Amino acid sequence: MEIELKVNKLQVFDEVAKTTAYVGHKMPPAEGTDPYTTIFTTDEDQEMLERYWNEAANSATDTLKEYVSALSEWSQPHGTDPTNDYEVTLDMTSNWDARLATTIQSSLFSYFVNYVCAKWFMLTNKSEAEGYTALATGHMDDIISKLYHRVRPQRPNDTPSIGLGMSH
């Protein structure tokens, strides 16, 4: 059984922008600085964010490698390409619980967002970096846990079920 996962780069960068804007807005101003303008990601930061995106993709691929049957090219060595999404196909055993695919997709997206934010905060707001690193790690642990989950085989039941009624 194969599952296909896709992480849209533009959506990740949009969520990173929202997160960094929120954190920057909520921080108390330091003497002579505006935390919002320091922490919030802008278009000028795209090259740096692209590097963090590639690191997240490399890390995700490394973690998922035992299941990977197909992988997109997400890395652009020169410049940035906002349409280069992360796409991976995982080859799962027949007794893997396919109902988990949607939640794995969601966790993978959150992993990318939190990984990129953690790297960004290492530069702009070290006090937030550790928390976002822990969030990214938690999402990847969640993915791994779901990939290892198996469903019990169902035995065919040839006989109809008989109600156990008590007669007096």
HEC string for 55-107:
HHHHHHHHHHCCCEEEECCCCCCCCCCCCCCEEEEEECCCCECHHHHHHHHHH
Selected residue with higher pLDDT from 155 and 105 = 105
Domain presence at residue 32: yes
Residues 109-128: what's their mean pLDDT?
Answer: 92
Residues 126-136: what's their mean pLDDT?
Answer: 94
Model pTM greater than 0.95? no
Share of the chain above pLDDT 90, in %: 49
Domain presence at residue 31: yes
* Averaged pLDDT of the chain: 83
Domain presence at residue 58: yes
Q: What is the pLDDT of residue 27?
A: 64
Q: Tens digits of per-residue pLDDT, 20-42? A: 887 776 665 566 565 545 565 66
Q: Please tell me the distance from the alpha carbon of residue 63 to that of residue 60, in angstroms, as a whole number.
A: 5
Q: Please tell me the distance from the alpha carbon of residue 107 to that of residue 139, in angstroms, as a whole number.
A: 5
Domain presence at residue 168: no
Domain presence at residue 161: no
How many whole angstroms from its chain centre is CA 88? Answer: 12
Is residue 54 within 8 A of residue 72, CB to CB? The reply is no
Is residue 110 within 8 A of residue 135, CB to CB? The reply is yes
Domain presence at residue 46: yes
Structural domain count of the chain? 1
Nearest to 6 by CA among 84, 67, 85, 59: 85
Domain presence at residue 11: yes
Q: Which domain holds residue 13?
A: 2-148
